[in-house]
Amino acid sequence: MSYLDDILKSRRDTRHFTTDEVPDEVIEKALQAGHWAPSVGLTDATRYFIIKSPEVKTAVKNLFLDYNKKAEELTDNPEQKERYKSLKLEAIEEAPIGLIIAYDRSVLNQFTIGTVGSNEAVKFSSVCAAQNIWLSLTEQGYGMGWVSILNYYQFKKILDLPENIEPLGYFCIGKPATNYDNQPMLQQLNWKQKSEAPDCKEIKNITECHISDLPNKISAKNETESDFNTLLQEKIDSKTKPLGALGTLETLAFQMATVFETLNPKIINPNIVVFAADHGIANHGVSAYPQDVTRQMVANFLEGGAAINVFCNQNDIHLSIVDAGVNYDFPTNANLINAKIAKGTQSFLHVPAMSENELNLCFEKGKAIVEDIAKTGCNCIGFGEMGIGNTSTASVLMSLLTDSPIEECTGKGTGIENEKLLQKQELLKKAIENYSGQAELKQHLAYFGGFEILQIASGMLTAYENKMLILVDGFICSVAFLIASKINPDIHKNAVFCHCSAEKAHQGLLNYFDAKPILNLDLRLGEGTGCAIAFPILKSAEVFLNDMASFESAGVSRK
């Protein structure tokens, strides 16, 4: 046992290699050690790819260098930035052998013991395999370095890895050229000191969770609106223009004033909230992108590089990002609202997407998020979403809640080809046929819902309660609004449908609502981009009602 302890203490993430070749038997023994690693539900989902080609190594090296430049800019501390530049974080071209350790997420297409709590359990098995390989190579006198500073989408593309194969990273294997003074390289170079002992605490108590049920329908107010509406319409009609000449702007101004309950409405502290989550149905190839893009795009939102970031900046709109259930653990210091229910839903092709408790938690968290935003004085809130596979979830919910054929509710989402669209429709049709639960809203939402969609629906209901103008984005957010309107039909009074999406079913859903969207720009991006782009038109409605002269004040004769 002491020999194992020595290996564990001496094992290092190798970055400097000699030119010695690595015998085949060394690699074979190491891979066998990886194969012996624990595998959740005996899935055997770990896959290996060996790289010896200088051309391939150079391509991977260039990919690293490109992404490493981005990593250098993540710190504003000049000293830390210079220290980072001095680190050798890879040995892609120098190491005799490159190894890709990956997991095959297609194993999730069938029920797998151990993945109900998290789809990432399959990934964790592959991490165990990487650890075993590391230990085996160390015992044989060799070393391995793990390169993870890569754009994984490009990494898979240049290596032509199948869509269902998700790499943990690129591993460099060879004879270590140094023992790093028997300490981790990053510690030796004063990047960070490794703690002396493991961080371990005993948990002795549990925290009680009081889960509320879905919100009940809010009864409509029986207010006398005629006097206010008459005054408001007179104010609109008295502006120096022919009656109705500002078209939709007049409708928006009227709606804004009635929502805010004032003849002088003003949008205050506008906020767009993007809810992100993963979907188990994505593991069945319903999207043109791998599931990990959800996590990558959230990182992009946080770094300010996405479309929604630039449009919010353009229009001075505050942007909030919510982790409603992404299959990833973000750093605790990320500028992110943590409302994670679980690491993605389950695949509703086989089992319910979520439990009843998770459903209720979605409504609790969505409500709390919007209540906190309302406390900032915000009276205009837009909703956006991000989640690979969520058009499939939205399509099924639309089909069930509007009693429409699934074919009319299913579109190309992120841009799948026609053949894949037919496969997607058949898959969703099969999922609906497999459902044997009750034909009730709550049961449908738990079985087919998405964490971000349900949190948005709850947020919309809460925005209505707080007399906020609700900006509805594209197809997925409109399905969230559909859910909210089934619970409280009065929510329509506060809703502004910002655009008609290029997603096939969105026009049908708008017709179902009898809604007239502000824009039709063939958008199909999500993220709340339609809300941000339509926002200046809302501001135009606001300023014409508040600032435009009346016939009387301008001394202009009426018709």
Cite the active site residues.
527
- Residue 194 per-residue DSSP state: P
Q: How many CB atoms lie within 10 A of CB 154?
A: 13
Cα dihedral value 369, 339, 354, 106, nearest 10: 140
Q: What are phi and psi of 130, to 5 degrees?
A: -60, -40
The DSSP secondary structure of 501-515, one letter per residue, reads -SSTTHHHHHHHHT-
Residue with tokens 């980072």: 84
Sheet holding 46-51, edge to edge: 46-51, 97-104, 165-174, 143-147
Residue among 372, 293, 302 nearest 330 (CA):
302
Contact 352, 393 (CB under 8 A): no
Using the structure block, give the residue that is written with the tokens 């028997």. Answer: 182
Q: What is the CA radius of gyration of the chain?
A: 28
Closest CA to 20 of 139, 141, 131, 135: 141
The residues pairing with 146 across neighbouring beta strands, listed in sequence order, are 171
DSSP E strands, 180-336: 271-277, 318-325
Q: Which two tokens stand for residue 376?
A: 């900032």
DSSP code at position 549: P
State the Cα angle at 417 between 63 and 527, rounded to 5°.
65
Helix (H, G, I), strand (E, B) or coil at 354: coil
What's the rounded Cα separation, in Å, for the pair 48 and 63? 20
Q: Which residues of 270-283 are buried (b: 16+ CB within 10 A; e: fewer)?
A: bbbbbbbbbbbbbb
CB under 8 Å to 438, separation ≥6 — which residues? none
Distance separating alpha carbons of residues 304 and 310, to the nearest angstrom: 7
Taking alpha carbons only, the member of 526, 425, 48, 467 closest to residue 261 is: 467
Cα 111 from Cα 350, distance rounded (Å): 7
Cβ atoms of 185 and 83 closer than 8 Å: no
Task: With CA atoms as reference, report the closest residue to 471 among 511, 509, 498, 507.
Answer: 498
Structure tokens at 381: 């809130």
